[in-house]
Chain A
Amino acid sequence: MDFIFHKARYQFELTGKKARDLHEFLAVIKEVNESSIFNHIYHALLDYHLLPLEYPNDFAYWIADVLHEPVLAERLANLDLREFHDLEMLRNRLINIIEDYLAMHDVTSRAGIGQEFHFVRCISVVFPTRYAVTNMNEALDILKEIDLDSIFYYFVASRLLGGGHYRLLSQWILENDSHELMEKLDNLYPYGFANMNDMRNEIIRIIERYFWEHL
Chain B
Amino acid sequence: MNEKRSIWEYEDIVGRGLLEDLESLAEHIPGSVQHINATYTGGGVAEILSSMIPLFKGLGIETDWNVIRGDDDFFSITKSFHNVLHGRVEDAVDIHAYKHVSVLDDLERQINELNQRKDMLETYLRWNKINSEEMDLDYDVTFVHDPQPAALIDAKQKGNWIWRCHIDVSNPDALVWNFLKESVSKYDASVFSTPLFSRPDLRIRQFLVPPSIDPLSDKNIELSQSEIGSVLDKYEITQDKPIITQISRFDRLKDLPGVIDAYKLVKKRIDCQLILAGGVAADDPEGMGVYHEVMKKADGEADIHVLLGSPPFTDIEINAFQRASTVIMQKSLKEGFGLVVSEGLWKGKPVIGGATGGIPLQIINGVTGYLVHSVEGAAFKIANLLKDPELARKLGENGREHVRNNFLITRHLKDYLLVMLSLEDPSGIIRL
List residues of A whose CB falls within 8 A of some B CB.
Answer: 7, 9-14, 16, 18, 33, 35, 47, 49-51, 113-114, 118, 120-130, 147, 149, 161-163
Q: Which residues of the other chain, B, contact A14 by a CB distance below 8 angstroms?
A: 192, 195, 198, 206-208
Contact between A125 and B208 (Cβ–Cβ < 8 Å)?
Answer: no
A162–B195 Cα gap in the complex (Å)? 26
Q: Which residues of the other chain, A, contact B428 by a CB distance below 8 angstroms?
A: 33, 35, 121-124, 161
**Interface bin, chain B:** 35 or more
Q: What residue in chain A is nearest B421 (Cβ atoms)?
A: A125
Q: Which of B116-124, B238-246, B398-406 contacts A (4 or more CB under 8 A)?
A: B398-406
Q: In the complex, how many angstroms separate the beta carbon of B404 from the nearest chain A beta carbon?
A: 8
A33–B427 Cα gap in the complex (Å)? 11
Q: Which residues of the other chain, B, contact A13 by a CB distance below 8 angstroms?
A: 205-208, 422
Contact between B429 and A161 (Cβ–Cβ < 8 Å)?
Answer: yes
Contact between B422 and A126 (Cβ–Cβ < 8 Å)?
Answer: no
Q: What residue in chain B is nearest A126 (Cβ atoms)?
A: B431
Q: A125-B432, A126-B432 are in contact. Are A12 and B21 (CB under 8 A)?
A: no
**Which residue in B205, B402, B414 is a CB contact (below 8 Å) of A49?**
B402
For residue B200, CB closer than 8 A to chain A, the reply is: yes
Other CB < 8 Å A-B pairs besides A9-B414, A18-B200, A49-B402, 9 of them? A14-B208, A18-B195, A51-B367, A114-B196, A123-B429, A124-B430, A125-B422, A149-B17, A163-B431
Q: A50-B364, A161-B429 are in contact. Are A16 and B200 (CB under 8 A)?
A: yes
For residue B89, CB closer than 8 A to chain A, the reply is: no
Q: Which residues of the other chain, A, contact B28 by a CB distance below 8 angstroms?
A: 127
Q: What residue in chain B is nearest A12 (Cβ atoms)?
A: B208
Q: In the complex, how many angstroms separate the beta carbon of B160 from the nearest chain A beta carbon?
A: 14
Q: Which residues of the other chain, A, contact B45 by a CB distance below 8 angstroms?
A: none
List residues of B whose CB falls within 8 A of some A CB.
Answer: 17, 20-21, 24-25, 28, 170-171, 192, 195-196, 198, 200, 205-208, 364, 367, 398, 401-402, 404-405, 414-415, 418-419, 421-422, 428-432
Contact between A12 and B207 (Cβ–Cβ < 8 Å)?
Answer: yes
Q: What residue in chain B is nearest A7 (Cβ atoms)?
A: B21
Q: What residue in chain A is nearest B189 (Cβ atoms)?
A: A13
Q: In the complex, how many angstroms separate the beta carbon of A7 from the nearest chain B beta carbon?
A: 7
**Which residue in A50, A124, A130 is a CB contact (below 8 Å) of B402?**
A50
Q: In the complex, how many angstroms separate the beta carbon of A32 from the nearest chain B beta carbon?
A: 13
Could you name 19 residue pairs across A and B whose Cβ atoms are closer than 8 Å? A9-B414, A10-B418, A11-B207, A13-B422, A14-B192, A14-B195, A14-B206, A114-B196, A123-B422, A123-B429, A124-B428, A124-B429, A126-B429, A127-B21, A127-B24, A127-B28, A127-B431, A127-B432, A161-B429
Q: What residue in chain B is nearest A46 (Cβ atoms)?
A: B405
A118–B200 Cα gap in the complex (Å)? 10
A124–B208 Cα gap in the complex (Å)? 14
Q: In the complex, how many angstroms separate the beta carbon of B403 from the nearest chain A beta carbon?
A: 10
Q: Which residues of the other chain, A, contact B429 by a CB distance below 8 angstroms?
A: 123-124, 126, 161-163
Q: Which residues of the other chain, A, contact B24 by a CB distance below 8 angstroms?
A: 127-129
Q: In the complex, how many angstroms separate the beta carbon of B225 from the nearest chain A beta carbon?
A: 28
Contact between A127 and B367 (Cβ–Cβ < 8 Å)?
Answer: no
Contact between A123 and B196 (Cβ–Cβ < 8 Å)?
Answer: no
Q: A18-B200, A123-B418 are in contact. Are A50 and B432 (CB under 8 A)?
A: no
A10–B415 Cα gap in the complex (Å)? 8
Q: Which residues of the other chain, B, contact A162 by a CB distance below 8 angstroms?
A: 429
Q: What residue in chain B is nearest A119 (Cβ atoms)?
A: B195
Q: Which residues of the other chain, B, contact A9 by a CB distance below 8 angstroms?
A: 21, 25, 414, 418
Q: What residue in chain B is nearest A51 (Cβ atoms)?
A: B367
Q: What residue in chain A is nearest B367 (Cβ atoms)?
A: A51
Q: In the complex, how many angstroms separate the beta carbon of A117 from the nearest chain B beta carbon?
A: 9
**Which residue in A11, A120, A163 is a CB contact (below 8 Å) of B415?**
A11
Contact between A147 and B367 (Cβ–Cβ < 8 Å)?
Answer: no
A50–B24 Cα gap in the complex (Å)? 27
A7–B398 Cα gap in the complex (Å)? 27
A42–B21 Cα gap in the complex (Å)? 21
**Which residue in B21, B401, B422, B431 is a CB contact (below 8 Å) of A11?**
B422
